[in-house]
């Protein structure tokens, strides 16, 4: 077994026993880290692997969250059914965006703008959708917090922690195999040079749409998790572009296109920004927007000194190849 795999197994074991030693606050921070590790991994499929920049991933989180949330809210049907509706809707949206963009040759910055536009007008649409509460939001009933009700995905924070740990781990394994598969080679070829990829027989349109579909499906699952973990959904918050930016900062800082970059980036950003917030609170200082400034500074430092992200440099230093 390579050093990388041993390190990864140790990390997984540590995360599995982590709740035994952690208080409620530490557990909530760890849940958040894993949530961003998972969504970062999902976004990385599109941008890191296939080179298609989405700045509107909050669209899939929001639609996924609202789909499963509304089905539970109105019909009392748990998320295991709502999940598939969420995935279906998000894949349909992703494929629509991909189809519009790639069929008509919209790429790069213009593609990114299109993804923002879709997230924005979906936000405005949900503001006017009374069925899910409009701008006033939708609240899922929090009946009990002590027993694990897996069927309805209701339970203590510990349950959510293990679910998001499982999701982040599965996403890592999935991406590991994807990257070594035909799809991974094709996506990377498209990312590196689309014209050359096409000359080698790759139907670039189809493979780009595939990347968007997979990424949106994975993000839809994060949305379902979000709905049942936070129990309240507001269009203004969930579709906000700053949510999309939060998703993409992890993989960019950790290392675009790498397997471990999204995980490392999520950990660095969430732990440090929460640390700073805590520190300031302890000092009694109230500085609004300090988190955003922090994100900006970290991004600046990484782009200047580690343009490929932290993970590639760290992996070289530690001789890890996972």
- The site for other proteins (CB under 8 A) is made up of 180-182, 185-186, 188-189, 191-193, 195-204, 257
Tell me whether residue 146 or residue 195 sits nearer to other proteins (CB atom).
195
State the minimum distance, in angstroms, from the CB of residue 292 to other proteins.
31
Smallest gap from residue 303 Cβ to other proteins (A) = 17
Residue 162 CB burial class (10 angstroms; 0-12, 13-18, ≥19): middle
Nearer to other proteins, 127 or 194 (CB): 194
Q: How far is the CB of 199 from other proteins (least distance, A)?
A: 5
- Residue 139 is inside which H or E element, if any? strand 138-139
Cα four-point dihedral sign 242, 247, 253, 256: negative
The residue (of 2 and 181) whose beta carbon lies closer to other proteins is 181
The H helix count followed by the E strand count for the chain is 14, 2
Nearest Cα residue to 54 out of 257, 194, 245, 222: 245
Distances (CA, A) of 238 to 52, 112, 223, 226: 22, 19, 9, 9
Question: Which residue, 41, 69, 170, is CA-closest to 126?
Answer: 69
Nearest distance, CB of residue 184 and other proteins, angstroms: 9
- Smallest distance from other proteins to CB 200, Å: 5
For residues 138 and 142, give the distance between their C-alpha atoms in angstroms, rounded to a whole number.
12
Name the DSSP letter for residue 138: E
Question: DSSP per residue over 261-280, as a string?
Answer: HHHHHHHHHHHHHHHHHHHH
Q: Which is nearer to other proteins, 168 or 189 (CB)?
A: 189
Whole-number minimum distance, CB 195 to other proteins, in Å?
6
Question: Between residues 20 and 199, which has the closer beta carbon with respect to other proteins?
Answer: 199
- 49 vs 229, which CB is nearer to other proteins? 49
């Amino acid at each position: 077994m390579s050093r990388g795999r041993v390190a990864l197994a140790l990390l997984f074991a540590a995360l599995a026993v982590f709740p035994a030693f952690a208080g409620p606050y530490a557990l909530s921070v760890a849940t958040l880290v894993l949530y961003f590790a998972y969504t970062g991994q999902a976004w990385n499929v599109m941008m890191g692997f296939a080179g298609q920049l989405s700045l509107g991933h909050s669209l899939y989180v929001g639609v996924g969250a609202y789909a499963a949330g509304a089905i539970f809210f109105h019909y009392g049907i748990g998320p295991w059914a709502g999940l598939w509706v969420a995935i279906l809707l998000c894949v349909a949206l992703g494929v629509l965006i991909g189809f519009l963009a790639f069929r008509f040759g919209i790429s790069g910055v213009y593609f990114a703008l299109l993804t923002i536009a879709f997230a924005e007008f979906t936000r405005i649409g949900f503001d006017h959708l009374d069925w899910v509460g409009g701008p006033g939001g939708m609240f899922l009933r929090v009946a009990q917090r002590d027993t694990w009700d897996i069927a309805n995905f209701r339970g203590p924070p510990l349950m959510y922690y293990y679910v998001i740990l499982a999701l982040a781990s599965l996403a890592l394994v999935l991406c590991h195999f994807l990257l070594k598969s035909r799809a991974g080679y094709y996506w990377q070829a498209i990312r590196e040079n689309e014209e050359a990829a096409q000359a080698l027989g790759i139907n670039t349109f189809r493979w780009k749409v595939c990347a968007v579909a997979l990424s949106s499906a994975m993000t839809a699952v994060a949305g379902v998790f979000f709905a049942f973990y936070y129990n309240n959904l507001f269009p203004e918050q969930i579709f906000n572009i700053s949510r999309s930016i939060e998703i993409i900062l992890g993989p960019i800082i950790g290392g675009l296109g790498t397997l471990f970059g999204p995980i490392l980036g999520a950990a660095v950003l969430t732990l440090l920004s929460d640390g700073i917030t805590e520190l300031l609170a302890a000092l009694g200082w109230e500085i609004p927007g300090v988190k955003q400034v922090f994100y900006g500074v970290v991004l600046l430092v990484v782009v200047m000194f580690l343009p490929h992200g932290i993970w590639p440099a760290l992996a070289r230093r530690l001789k890890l190849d996972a």
